[in-house]
């Protein structure tokens, strides 16, 4: 178990969804919609998309919640919390959301044109291809990350997900 390396656990970068930092939020949302991962015979959806610059340096990652936050219309962000709750409180008036729906949809579509670099989370830690499982777990826990890029010669060659590290530990326990 402790002899498992990052390169053994990683998903190769050509199999993991990634975009350029110049992509729009809408383009990243499309990547999420179309992406499927298959690791060890198990299928799953990605929890994040990696963001690269033109020289293939990993800059950050975008999670689904980052996209949802990024799509929030600007006019809603400036409202007070009580006002926002009231706007969507169908107990007050079931038609409130319907009346503002077209305005919100228009604003969401406008926000979707923004650059993904505005909503991405920065890369806070990386793994080396020859890092052992214990070090992988330590780095993921210490950086509070569930996905970390794997480097070889300073180039991203893949990603390790915490779920894959967890499965490796569990498979060796049972």
What the block records as the tokens of 36 is 């499927």
Helix axes 133-143, 162-173, angle to 10 degrees: 130
Say what the pLDDT of residue 89 is.
63
The SS3 assignment for 88 reads coil
Confidence of residue 122 (pLDDT cuts 50, 70, 90): very high
Residue 141 has pLDDT above 60, yes or no: yes
Q: How far is residue 123's CA from residue 125's CA, in Å, rounded to a whole number?
A: 6
Residue 147 has pLDDT above 80, yes or no: yes
Q: What percent of the chain has pLDDT over 90?
A: 68
Say what the pLDDT of residue 94 is.
57
Question: How confident is the model over 11-60, as pLDDT tens digits?
Answer: 999 999 999 999 999 999 999 999 999 887 888 889 999 999 999 899 99
> 118 versus 99: which is more confidently predicted?
118
CATH number of 6-67+115-173: 3.10.580.10
Q: What is the DSSP string of 131-150?
A: -BHHHHHHHHHHHT-SEEEE
For the chain, the domains span: 6-67+115-173
Question: How confident is the model over 84-104, as pLDDT tens digits?
Answer: 676 666 565 655 555 456 777
Main-chain phi, psi angles of 29, to 5 degrees: -60, -40
């Amino acid at each position: 178990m402790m002899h498992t390396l990052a390169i053994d656990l990683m998903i190769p970068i050509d199999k993991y969804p990634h975009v350029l930092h110049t992509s729009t939020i809408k383009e990243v949302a499309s990547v999420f919609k179309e992406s499927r991962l298959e690791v060890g015979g198990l299928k799953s959806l990605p929890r994040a998309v990696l963001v690269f610059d033109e020289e293939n340096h990993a800059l950050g990652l975008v999670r689904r919640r980052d996209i949802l936050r990024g799509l929030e219309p600007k006019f809603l962000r400036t409202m007070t919390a009580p006002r926002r709750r009231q706007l969507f409180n169908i107990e007050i008036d079931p038609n409130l959301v319907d009346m503002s729906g077209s305005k919100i949809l228009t604003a969401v579509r406008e926000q979707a044109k923004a650059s993904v670099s505005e909503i991405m989370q920065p890369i806070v830690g990386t793994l080396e291809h020859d890092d052992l499982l214990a070090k992988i777990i330590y780095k993921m826990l210490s950086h509070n990350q569930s996905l970390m890029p794997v480097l070889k010669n300073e180039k991203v060659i893949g990603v390790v997900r915490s779920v894959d590290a967890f499965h490796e530990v569990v498979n060796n326990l049972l």
